[in-house]
Structure 1
Amino acid sequence: MARKKRILVTGGAGFLGSHLCEKLVDGGHEVLCVDNFYTGDKENLAGLLGSPRFEIIRHDITFPLYLEVDEIFNLACPASPIHYQYDPVQTTKTSVHGSINMLGLAKRLRAKILQASTSEVYGDAEIHPQDETYWGRVNPIGPRSCYDEGKRCAETLFFDYRRQHNLSIKVARIFNTYGPRLRPDDGRVVSNFIVQALTNQPITIYGDGQQTRSFCYVDDVIDGLVKLMDTNDEVVGPVNLGNPSEVTMMGLAELVIELTGSRSAIEFKPLPLDDPRQRQPNIKLARDRLGWGPSVPLRDGLVETIAYFENFIIAADRAGAAA
C-alpha cells in the first residue's frame, strides 16, 4: 500500500489547484491548500471542506511559509493574460520570489517539490510541435513577459536548487487546459467562447482564426502532474503535459457554437502583441517516462465544460434576480 503523505498545494483554490487537491485527498493524503485568493475561489473547494484530511491557509507565497510537509506542488500564479497583466510586477514576484520561498521550504524539509510551469516558456515558437529540448522564443520586455519570463526564471531556480543543494525537483510544462472551474472572466479562449455562445453574444476571434492551440482536459493534466511527482528522482523534467491534437481558433468557435446550439455570430479583432501563432506539445517524453497521455477527446471535454458554465450562469442570474 502506498504511503499516505502530507502534501502542500500552492494556488490550491484555483482551476488546476482545486482539481489537484481533490485527487490527492481522494488518494488518502492530507492536503494543505495555500492560496491568497487573487484568482482562486473557495467555491472550487466546497466539496473538500468537510474532509478531515483537507486544510486551507490564506497566504501569499511571495512571503515565507513555515510548515511540515512531505511534498509540495507549486501551482501559485495567475495564468490568464487578463489577470497576470493586471499586476505584472506581482505576477513576476509570484513566480520568482514564490519559487525561492517554496524551494527554501523544500530544502529545509528535504521534501520533493514540483513546479507547474507552462508552454508559454516556448513563446512564439519557431519549431512545431514543441519538445522539451527547445529553448523558446520569448519577448523579454513585452506585455506577456511577466508570466513567460517569470515561469522561465522559476525553472532556472528549480534546476539550480537541484544542482547546488541536491533537491528533489519535478518540472511540468502545462499546455492549454480547460474544464469545469475555469473562471468565466479569465479571458482564456475556451471560457470566452463558451460564455459568449451561451449568452448569444458575438464570439470574439483575435486575428484570422487560423492560429492553433492544443487543448487538454483538466482531469488528464492532473493525472499527469501526479504521475510526474510519483516517478523516481531520475525523471526530473521538464515534461510537456498537453494534448497534441491541434485545432484552429475558428474550428474551436464552430464546435462551441454547435455544442451549445448558439445563435452567436463570429467577430474578428486584431491579434494581441506576442500572441503565439501555433502551440502543440510533443509528449513523447511523458508517454515514454510517465506512461501518460490524454484520454478525453475535445468534444467530450467541452460538453462537460459547457454544462458547468450553464449552471454557473443560471446561478448568477438567480442571484441577480434575488438581489
Structure 2
Amino acid sequence: MERPLSLVTGACGFMGTHMCEVLAEAGHRIRATDLPAAHEKDDRAKGRFPSVIDRLGVEFVPGDFTRPGDLAALVRDVDYVFHVAGVFSYSAPWALLRQVNESGTEALIDAVLAHKRAKRFVLWGAGGVYGLPSWRPGRPFRETDAVLPANPYLRSKWLAEHATMRAQGRGLSWAILRPTTVYGPRAVYGSGQMILAAAGMKIAAAPRNFTGRIPWVHVRDVCRAALHLATTKGAENRIYNLNDDTQMSTLEFFRLMAGLTGAKFVELPAVPIDRLKPAIHGVAGALQKITGLLGVPSPLEADTVDYLNEDWQYANDELKSTGFQFQYPEARDGLRDTLRWYRENGWLDG
C-alpha cells in the first residue's frame, strides 16, 4: 500500500519543521513548501530551519500563496494538507496579514478542491480569536464561543478560519486548530521570547498579584493533534482548542524558571497593572517604531500588552473526545525539556 502524501506549508519554520518530523515518524511521504528565501539557510533570528527538513529527505517545492499559479504543483496527488504557513506577527501591516492569512488560505483551498484528492485540510487558526478573558470572566473558552479577535493579526486568522469553514459547501473536509501558547525546541517568537528572556535572568521576579494563568501547549502536541485530526474518522469539520492541562500563573512561571535555571526568585509587591497598561502601550509603540527602522523584532509589541496578567483558560475536552492524548499534558515537564534543548543547542548559556 502506498504511503500517504502530506503537504506541509510554512515547512521551514518552527511549527512546520515539527510537523514534518511528526509526519516522517508516522511514515508519510512529505511535500514541504515555503518561500524560496526560507529554504536557503538556517536563520535563528527569522525562525527558519531548513536543515531540519533537509535531513528528513522531504520533497521541497518553493511556493508563495500570494501567487496562485504556484499552488497547482503543491497540491498534486496530495492526501492531506497541513496549512501552517501564515504571517505570525502582531506588528505586520493589515494589508499583508489579510493578503497572506486570508487570501492565501482561500487560494490554497481553491487549488485543493480543483484536484479533488485531499482527504482533509488542517488549518492553523489561533487560540486568541475569542478575545480577552476579562471580557468573559470566570470560565474557560470553548469552541462554541463567539469570536472577538482583539487585534489585526487575530482578525486575519479568524478570516482564514471562516474561509475554511465556508469551503465545506464546496466539498472540503477540514479541521481547524486553535493553539494557545505554543512552546518547544526552536521556538523563537512568542513563547520563545518569553522563555529565553526568563531563562536569562540572574534574578527572576514577578509581582505577587500576577496570578493570571498562562495557557500552554507543546509544539509536538500541536503537530501530533494535527495528524490525529487529519486521519481520524468523525473528527472532520470541527474546531479544536489546542491547550494542555497545565494550571500555571505568571507568578508561578517565573518561580519555575528560576528553579530550572538556578536563578534567585523574588516575589515583588503587587502592581496596579490595569492602570499601567496605557503607559506600557506607549512604550511598546515607541519600541516598535525604533526596531522597525532598525529592521529587528521588537521585544514588546503594543497589541500584546493587553494580554498581561489576563487569566487564560481553555477547555480541551473537544480534542480529547476524539481519543487524542497529550505527550506533554503538563507544561512544567515540557518547559524543562525545552530548556535542555536550548542549552544543548547553544541558545542559552549554562
Q: Distance in 2 between matches of 1:161 and 1:226?
A: 20
> Where does structure 1 lack aligned partners over 5 or more consecutive residues?
140-144, 318-323
**Are residue 180 (structure 1) and residue 185 (structure 2) matched?**
yes
Q: CA deviation at 1:207?
A: 11
Q: CA deviation at 1:63?
A: 2.0
Q: Distance in 1 between matches of 2:347 and 2:53?
A: 23
Aligned to 2:297: none
Aligned to 2:280: none
Secondary structure of residue in 2 paired with 1:136: coil
Secondary structure of residue in 1 paired with 2:241: strand
Q: CA deviation at 1:32?
A: 1.6
Map 1:75-154 onto structure 2 (within 5 A): 75-79=84-88, 83-110=89-116, 111=118, 112-125=120-133, 126=136, 128-139=139-150, 145-154=151-160
Instruction: Give the alignment's Cα RMSD to 1 decimal.
Output: 2.8
> Where does structure 2 lack aligned partners over 5 or more consecutive residues?
278-303
Q: Distance in 1 between matches of 2:336 and 2:267?
A: 20
Q: Distance in 1 between matches of 2:331 and 2:232?
A: 28
Answer yes or no: is the 8 Å Cα contact 1:283–1:293 preserved in 2: no
1:246 is matched by which residue type in structure 2?
Q
Secondary structure of residue in 2 paired with 1:247: coil
**Are residue 74 (structure 1) and residue 61 (structure 2) matched?**
no
2:257 is matched by which residue type in structure 1?
V
Secondary structure of residue in 2 paired with 1:8: strand
Secondary structure of residue in 1 paired with 2:64: coil
2:142 is matched by which residue type in structure 1?
D
**Are residue 285 (structure 1) and residue 318 (structure 2) matched?**
yes
Q: CA deviation at 1:233?
A: 5.5
Between 5-14 and 58-67, report the one with greater CA deviation. Answer: 58-67
Q: CA deviation at 1:194?
A: 3.2
Q: Percent identity?
A: 22
1:167 is matched by which residue type in structure 2?
L
Secondary structure of residue in 2 paired with 1:23: helix
Report the TM-score when normalising by structure 2: 0.76
Aligned to 1:302: 335
Map 1:153-302 onto structure 2 (within 5 A): 153-163=159-169, 165-183=170-188, 186=189, 188=190, 190-200=191-201, 209-232=210-233, 235-263=236-264, 270-271=276-277, 272-275=304-307, 277-288=310-321, 290-296=322-328, 297-302=330-335
**Are residue 58 (structure 1) and residue 62 (structure 2) matched?**
yes
Q: CA deviation at 1:211?
A: 2.2
Secondary structure of residue in 2 paired with 1:196: helix
Kindly tell me: are residues 103 and 219 of structure 1, through their superposed partners in 2, closer, same or farther at Cα, counting changes over 3 Å? same
Answer yes or no: is the 8 Å Cα contact 2:204–2:264 preserved in 1: no
Q: CA deviation at 1:294?
A: 2.3
Aligned to 1:320: none
How many residues align? The count is: 299
Q: Distance in 1 between matches of 2:160 and 2:199?
A: 38
Between 269-278 and 170-179, report the one with greater CA deviation. Answer: 269-278
Secondary structure of residue in 2 paired with 1:238: strand
Kindly tell me: are residues 62 and 201 of structure 1, through their superposed partners in 2, closer, same or farther at Cα, counting changes over 3 Å? farther
Q: Distance in 1 between matches of 2:199 and 2:235?
A: 46
Q: CA deviation at 1:176?
A: 1.6
